């Protein structure tokens, strides 16, 4: 939610009502994602000077940074089984998709880029779907397994972007 | 017979008048420059007087540099003279930003530009903001658009 263009994370009842503000930093806080049990939220913030991933309790307490691999981290998404967070990492060599544990350990880059972004999880938590911008600016959808195998293109008749995988078990 | 001679004279007369007024022919042959009216005229005047409608930001930056402040100072001078004109500042994100980030950065850039105009005495009600995020990617910038 933006007030005066300073983006912060708010939480609001699904039935409507007054949103409760969870972050108060002067930086840009955005891209929140709940843990599946609803107890925690991962988000991105540039409060420390560059975009990084932070985890906090669902009431806004206990905010701490979990990404320290260099470059910028963005668009975190919590896996359905709660064990991992997928993200887009930006560096000098472009944008790649990666995964990390919620405590900041075991970071792993899944794709080679250079134009990958917008990860979304399979219900199984074993695969990630994402958007790849290729040469010439064409967007396509790709899926990649966590075992380090090559991403496979999801063929669509037109360009595709901003995927969101349904919660149905595949 | 006399009637047709009279007609011939009349036509010759018209032709002679044409020759004496060359601008009449000129107007027929060349397309007229459109005369800007209303908001279009104001937009053209704003762009001319303010030296442009755009302020640029550095990559990854939401800070107004010296050239951006100079551009906004000229915009503010014009806007103070035209309090009846309402403008919207549209912020753009960087093409390499992720979607939410680009939206937030565009909003911040627009808001920084608006704050500077307000600091220079432009009434708050005269200036609104919006963000294009990465929907219209390009150089990091904020553009002042005359709305009405």
- In this predicted model, what pLDDT tens digit does every residue of A22-81 receive, in sequence order? 999 889 999 999 999 999 999 999 999 999 999 999 999 999 999 999 999 999 999 999
Q: What is the mean pLDDT of residues B120-134?
A: 92
Tell me whether 0.90 is exceeded by the ipTM. Answer: no
Q: What is the mean pLDDT of residues B37-42?
A: 85
Contacts of residue B104 in chain A, CB cutoff 8 Å? 2, 5, 7, 28, 30
Name the residue of chain B whose CA is nearest to A114's CA. Answer: B96
CA neighbours within 13 Å on the CB side: how many for A109? 19
Chain A contact for B99 (CB, 8 A cutoff): yes
pLDDT at A4 over 60: no
Name the residue of chain B whose CA is nearest to A137's CA. Answer: B95
Name the residue of chain B whose CA is nearest to A32's CA. Answer: B100
Asked if B101 and A117 come within 8 Å (Cβ–Cβ), the reply is no
Chain A contact for B129 (CB, 8 A cutoff): yes
Chain B contact for A74 (CB, 8 A cutoff): yes
pLDDT of A21: 95
Per the CB < 8 A criterion, the answer to whether A17 and A5 are in contact is: no
Contacts of residue B131 in chain A, CB cutoff 8 Å? 5
d(CA B63, CA B109): 8
Chain A contact for B90 (CB, 8 A cutoff): no
Residue A30 is nearest to which of B104, B111, B112, comparing CB atoms?
A: B104
Asked if B99 and A28 come within 8 Å (Cβ–Cβ), the reply is no
Which residue, among A2, A3, A5, A132, would best test binding to B if mutated, counting the most B CBs under 10 Å from its CB?
A5
Residue B111 is nearest to which of A4, A75, A118, comparing CB atoms?
A: A4
pLDDT at B13 over 90: no
Per the CB < 8 A criterion, the answer to whether A37 and A58 are in contact is: no
pLDDT at B64 over 60: yes
Contacts of residue A88 in chain B, CB cutoff 8 Å? 98
Helix (H, G, I), strand (E, B) or coil at B47: helix
Chain A contact for B98 (CB, 8 A cutoff): yes
pLDDT at B45 over 50: yes
Structure tokens given for B85:
């004109």
Q: What is the mean pLDDT of residues B74-94?
A: 92
User: Quick one: which of A8, A3, A5 has its CA closest to B107?
Assistant: A5
Structure tokens given for A19:
């949103």
């Amino acid at each position: 939610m933006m007030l005066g263009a300073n983006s912060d994370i708010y939480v609001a009842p699904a039935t409507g009502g007054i949103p409760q503000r969870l972050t108060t930093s002067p930086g840009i806080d955005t891209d929140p994602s709940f843990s599946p049990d609803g107890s925690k939220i991962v988000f991105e913030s540039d409060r420390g000077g560059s975009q990084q991933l932070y985890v906090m309790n669902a009431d806004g307490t206990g905010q701490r940074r979990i990404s320290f691999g260099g470059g910028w981290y963005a668009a975190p998404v919590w896996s359905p089984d709660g064990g991992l967070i997928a993200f887009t990492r930006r560096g000098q060599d472009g944008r790649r998709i990666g995964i990390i544990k919620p405590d900041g350990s075991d970071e792993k880059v899944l794709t080679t880029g250079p134009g990958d972004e917008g990860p979304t999880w399979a219900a199984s938590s074993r695969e990630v779907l994402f958007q790849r911008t290729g040469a010439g600016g064409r967007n396509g959808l790709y899926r990649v397994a966590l075992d380090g195998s090559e991403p496979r293109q999801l063929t669509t008749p037109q360009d595709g972007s901003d995927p969101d995988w349904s919660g149905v078990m595949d | 017979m006399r009637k047709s001679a009279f007609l011939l004279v009349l036509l010759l007369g018209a032709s002679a008048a044409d020759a004496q007024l060359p601008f009449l022919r000129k107007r027929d042959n060349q397309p007229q420059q459109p005369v800007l009216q209303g908001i279009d005229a104001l937009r053209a005047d704003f762009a001319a007087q303010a030296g442009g409608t755009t302020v640029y930001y550095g990559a990854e930056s939401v800070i107004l540099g010296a050239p951006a402040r100079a551009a906004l100072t000229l915009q503010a001078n014009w806007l103070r003279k035209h309090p009846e004109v309402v403008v919207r500042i549209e912020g753009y994100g960087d093409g390499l930003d992720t979607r939410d980030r680009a939206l937030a950065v565009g909003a911040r850039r627009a808001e920084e530009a608006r704050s500077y105009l307000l600091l220079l005495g432009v009434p708050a009600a005269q200036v609104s903001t919006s963000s294009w995020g990465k929907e219209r990617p390009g150089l990091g910038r904020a553009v002042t658009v005359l709305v009405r």
